[in-house]
Amino acid sequence: MPARRGKVGVVATDDEIQNALLAIHSRLGTIEGKINLVARAEREELLRVLEETTRKDPLVGQIYLLIDGSRSQKEIVEELQQSGISVSQPTVSRRMIALVREYGIADPVGEGAVLRKDRAAEDVLNLSARVKRWLEEGGHTVPGQPRRRRPRSGP
């Protein structure tokens, strides 16, 4: 059935919309496949850079562990503070931008300051587990986990 003209413009049929969505989905799959290929080819270099970054600036790793596609920037600041990490919202904002623009390991969700972990980074690099280990090895707080209590001394 051909597209019909309405008062505002051309109205697509259900079949045309379905075909357009299938084409978009196919293109996205191709792009994701290329990203996975690049991530696998450059795996060791990516891991080296991310490990160096996390060790130099643990806040990058701490924020990475907290992004989940639903927490806002403000909620991340609060979670960090609950974990004993003193940080300002502008600092968190800058690190979140770096996760997206400089490192490519997070993606924005919607219009707000909400990020989610990049699926390829998680799948190919097993990044959350590595970031957690790098923080622990550096003696830094891993947010979102119960804080260890010091053993009581005395009788």
Q: Are residues 74 and 123 in the same domain?
A: yes
Q: Identify the domain containing residue 63 by its residue range.
A: 43-143
Q: Are residues 137 and 82 in the same domain?
A: yes
Q: Note whether residue 5 is domain-resident.
A: no
Q: Single out the residue of 33, 1, 30 nearest to residue 14, CA to CA.
A: 1
Q: Note whether residue 117 is domain-resident.
A: yes
pLDDT in tens, 118-149: 887 788 888 999 999 999 999 999 997 654 44
Q: Are residues 61 and 117 in the same domain?
A: yes
The pLDDT value recorded for residue 144 is: 76
Distance CA 83, CA 56 (A): 19
Q: Are residues 109 and 131 in the same domain?
A: yes
The pLDDT value recorded for residue 150 is: 47
Q: Single out the residue of 128, 127, 119, 62 nearest to residue 96, CA to CA.
A: 62
Q: Are residues 113 and 65 in the same domain?
A: yes
Distance CA 13, CA 3 (A): 6
pTM of the model: 0.69
pLDDT in tens, 104-123: 888 888 776 899 998 877 88
Q: Note whether residue 31 is domain-resident.
A: yes
Q: Are residues 68 and 117 in the same domain?
A: yes
* Chain centre distance of CA 90: 18
CATH number of residue 101's parent domain:
1.10.10
Q: Are residues 33 and 83 in the same domain?
A: no
Confidence band for 44, pLDDT divided at 50, 70 and 90: confident
Distance CA 37, CA 42 (A): 9
Q: What is the mean pLDDT of residues 77-91?
A: 93
> Higher confidence at residue 92 or residue 33?
92
* Chain centre distance of CA 20: 28
Domains in the chain: how many in total?
2
The pLDDT value recorded for residue 155 is: 52
